[in-house]
Structure 1
Amino acid sequence: MTKVDARGMSCPQPVIIAKKTAEGNPGGFQILVDNNTAKENVMRFLKNAGFRVEVKNINEDYLLKASK
């Protein structure tokens, strides 16, 4: 499964990365973000795009697993 690291980026960059990754991986992927705003915005995008989303806290970061 494709894993993308979007830590250290401010919005809208993580959402743009999630959109590009979703286009190339329609079955699902993982994206790592490091702040709550990015987590919420990426989750909203993924749900609107028809993905199921699981969130896992890893220390100070969030791993979002998107799947169809």
Structure 2
Amino acid sequence: MKEVDARGLSCPEPLMLTAEALKAADGPVKVLVTEPHQKMNVEKYAEEHGKKPVSTEKDGFYEVVIE
């Protein structure tokens, strides 16, 4: 599984890194972000591109697995 660690980055960087990873990946992509709005943006982007995001709140950050 490809992992994108976008913790601490400002918008729109997490979204740009997510888009790049989804284009290059042939399986699920795990995205790590710090802020709730970043999590929502990544989830929305995934859904708009026909993918299923599953989010989990970890210790101080969010993990979004996109399948």
Q: Which structure's residues are more often strand, by fraction?
A: 1
Q: Return structure 1 stretches of 4+ with deviation > 4 angstroms.
A: none
Gaps of at least 5 residues in structure 1 are none
The equivalent of 1:9 in structure 2 is 9
Number of residue pairs aligned between Structure 1 and Structure 2: 67
When normalised by structure 1's length, the TM-score is 0.92
The two structures, once aligned, show a CA RMSD in angstroms of 0.9
Query: Does the Cα contact within 8 Å between 1:46 and 1:53 map onto a contact in 2?
Result: yes
Pairs within 5 Å for 1:22-37: 22-37=22-37
Q: Tell me, in whole angstroms, the C-alpha distance in 2 between the residues paired with 1:34 and 1:10.
A: 10
Query: Does the Cα contact within 8 Å between 1:56 and 1:63 map onto a contact in 2?
Result: yes
Q: Tell me, in whole angstroms, the C-alpha distance in 2 between the residues paired with 1:10 and 1:43.
A: 16
The equivalent of 2:66 in structure 1 is 66
